């Protein structure tokens, strides 16, 4: 059996344990006639018995139990607490706690996550270029962790095991704490994550988050959102079974992201996916300006698809000129089908032909039409 099929079967089994079998033909946004359409398509040739990875109809993830909702998380920026130093500079402070916590990453699929502040991804830390940043890190997990920030700082503040251990830095043991302090530079969209080995495990368990440094003069007014592209290896075989943006597979299919027509949308997109070398972001029926790493105020490309390796990130800016439901997803079809898909809902979709995007998944190169996974 190929790796892909075994991953598929595993996912199907996990979902089946707590839910009716998911079908990709349910891959239509809620509130636009999706579920009804799904039923109408169930007789589509060749799909009987094939376990697609769409959301389980009638079931949804318990966001309250998770402690976070991916819809709220999109626009949830953590600015910390600020005060002025004697020098006149702004000091910005946060407290971050590592905690082990079970979360639901797709309907019925539980995962023993390691988290920063109880959520995956961790808080989106946001500061302004040139500020002094201070982060008190407390390790309440049963495992040693660190916070390694992308940015410019001293070795002692790098969150690297083995560096500065005699000064309390390096690996932070359970029950211990350390305060990271450095300047906010350069401006852009960055990330932070644990750097304890085995690295792939510590990261894929959920210890990461976006770290945004705004340029001194800011950016134009926009509806801003954070999208952390991630995945979950639910059976610990070093391959992902669930792919997502902001953790919950298919969440933005279930709850399309409401945006206004003709309003500037700014996405901070960060790829922290483990085990797969690349990830991608594609939007339907539109193009965006691409600012790689967000470190320039000039876009480098006008496109509708970007590729990111692990740790790469970007700012994307676009406007939707027409009302309707517009899909966004990894242009790695396997990821899209295993959770990394969503919709932007612009204006009133009922008046403008709501989505029928699921058809694109009917003829997959592996395990598609006619396959019995
Ligand atoms: Cu760790």
pLDDT in tens, 184-194: 999 999 999 99
pLDDT band of residue 57 (cuts 50, 70, 90) is low
Reply yes or no on whether the pLDDT at 21 is more than 80. Answer: no
In this structure, which residues have their CB less than 5 angstroms from ion ligand 1? 145, 194, 196, 202
How far is ligand 1, taken at its centre, from the CA of residue 28, in Å?
36
How far is ligand 1, taken at its centre, from the CA of residue 132, in Å?
25
How far is ligand 1, taken at its centre, from the CA of residue 123, in Å?
16
In this prediction, residues 187-215 reach a mean pLDDT of 96
Query: What was the pLDDT predicted at 357?
Result: 42
Tokens of 99: 């905690």
State the burial class of residue 264 (Cβ atoms within 10 Å of its Cβ: 0-12, 13-18, 19+): middle
Query: What was the pLDDT predicted at 333?
Result: 86
Alpha-carbon span 272 to 106, nearest angstrom: 18
Kindly tell me the sign of the dihedral angle through the C-alpha atoms of 157, 158, 161, 162.
negative
Using CA atoms, how far residue 92 sits from 11, 55, 135, 164, 226, in Å, is: 42, 40, 8, 23, 20
Tokens of 316: 């994307």
How far is ligand 1, taken at its centre, from the CA of residue 177, in Å?
13
How far is ligand 1, taken at its centre, from the CA of residue 118, in Å?
14
How far is ligand 1, taken at its centre, from the CA of residue 354, in Å?
43
Alpha-carbon span 163 to 51, nearest angstrom: 47
Tokens of 265: 């949308």
In this prediction, residues 337-354 reach a mean pLDDT of 81
Q: Which residue in 292, 366, 353, 303 sits closest to 325, CA to CA?
A: 353
How far is ligand 1, taken at its centre, from the CA of residue 128, in Å?
27
How far is ligand 1, taken at its centre, from the CA of residue 167, in Å?
19
Q: Is the peptide bond before 121 cis (omega within 30 degrees of 0)?
A: yes
The per-residue pLDDT for range 87-121, each reduced to its tens digit, is 999 999 999 999 999 999 998 899 999 999 999 99
pLDDT band of residue 140 (cuts 50, 70, 90) is very high
Of 21-30, 74-83, 291-300, 312-321, where does mean pLDDT reach its minimum?
21-30
pLDDT band of residue 59 (cuts 50, 70, 90) is confident
Please provide the average confidence, as pLDDT, over all residues in the chain: 84
Alpha-carbon span 286 to 307, nearest angstrom: 17
How far is ligand 1, taken at its centre, from the CA of residue 334, in Å?
28
pLDDT band of residue 276 (cuts 50, 70, 90) is very high
242-245/177-183 β-pairing: unpaired
Is the distance from CB of 28 to CB of 38 less than 8 angstroms? Answer: yes
**Residue holding tokens 């049963």?**
142
Tokens of 318: 């676009």
- HEC profile for the chain? CCHHHHHHHHHHHHHHHHCCCCCHHHCCCCCCCHHHHHHHHCCCCCCCCCCCCCCCCCCCCCHHHHCCCHHHHHCCEECCEEEECCCCCEEEEEEEEEEEEEEEEECCEEEEEEEECCECCCCEEEEECCCEEEEEEEECCCCCECCEECCCCCHHHCCCCCCCHHHCCCCECCCCEEEEEEECCCCEEEEEECCCCCHHHHHHCCCEEEEEEECCCCCCCCEEEEEEEEEECCCCCCCCCEEEECCCCCHHHHCCEEECCCCCEEEEEEECCCCCCEEEEEECCCCEEEEECCCCCCCCEEECEEEEECCCEEEEEECCCCCEEEEEECCCHHHHHCCCEEEEEECCHHHCCCCCHHHHHCCCCCCCCCCCC
How far is ligand 1, taken at its centre, from the CA of residue 195, in Å?
6
Q: What is the pTM of this model?
A: 0.83
Is the distance from CB of 100 to CB of 113 less than 8 angstroms? Answer: yes
| Share above pLDDT 70 across residues of the chain, in percent, rounded to a whole number | 78
How far is ligand 1, taken at its centre, from the CA of residue 331, in Å?
30
How far is ligand 1, taken at its centre, from the CA of residue 338, in Å?
26
């Amino acid at each position: 059996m190929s790796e892909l099929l075994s991953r598929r079967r595993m996912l199907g089994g996990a979902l089946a344990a707590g839910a009716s079998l998911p079908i990709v033909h349910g891959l239509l946004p809620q509130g636009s006639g999706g579920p009804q359409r799904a039923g109408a398509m169930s007789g589509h040739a060749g799909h009987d018995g094939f376990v697609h990875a769409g959301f389980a109809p009638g079931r949804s993830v318990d966001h309250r139990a998770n402690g976070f909702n991916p819809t709220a998380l999109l626009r949830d920026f953590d600015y910390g607490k600020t005060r002025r130093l004697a020098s006149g500079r702004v000091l910005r402070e946060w407290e971050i706690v590592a905690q082990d916590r079970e979360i639901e990453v797709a309907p019925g699929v539980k995962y023993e996550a390691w988290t920063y502040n109880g959520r995956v991804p961790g808080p989106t830390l946001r500061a302004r270029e040139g500020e002094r940043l201070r982060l008190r890190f407390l390790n309440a997990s049963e495992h040693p962790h660190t916070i390694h920030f992308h940015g410019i700082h001293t070795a002692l503040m790098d969150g690297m095991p083995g560096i500065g251990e005699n000064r309390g830095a390096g690996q932070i043991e359970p029950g211990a704490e350390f305060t990271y302090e450095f300047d906010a530079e350069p401006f852009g969209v960055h990330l932070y994550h644990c750097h304890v080995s085995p690295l792939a495990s510590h990261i894929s368990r959920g210890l990461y988050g976006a770290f945004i440094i705004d340029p001194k003069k800011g950016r134009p007014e926009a509806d801003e959102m954070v999208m952390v592209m991630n995945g979950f290896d639910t059976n610990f075989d070093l391959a992902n079974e669930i792919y997502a943006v902001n953790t919950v597979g298919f969440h933005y299919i279930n709850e399309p992201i409401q945006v206004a027509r003709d309003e500037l949308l700014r996405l901070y997109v960060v790829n922290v996916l483990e085990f797969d070398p690349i990830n991608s972001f594609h939007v339907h029926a539109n193009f965006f300006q691409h600012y790689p790493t967000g470190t320039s105020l000039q876009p480098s490309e006008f496109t509708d698809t970007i590729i990111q390796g692990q740790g790469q990130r970007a700012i994307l800016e676009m406007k939707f000129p027409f009302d309707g439901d517009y899909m966004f997803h990894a242009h790695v079809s396997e990821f899209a089908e295993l959770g990394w898909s969503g919709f932007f809902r612009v204006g009133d979709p009922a008046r403008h032909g709501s989505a029928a995007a699921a058809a694109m998944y009917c003829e997959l190169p592996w395990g598609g039409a006619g396959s019995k996974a």
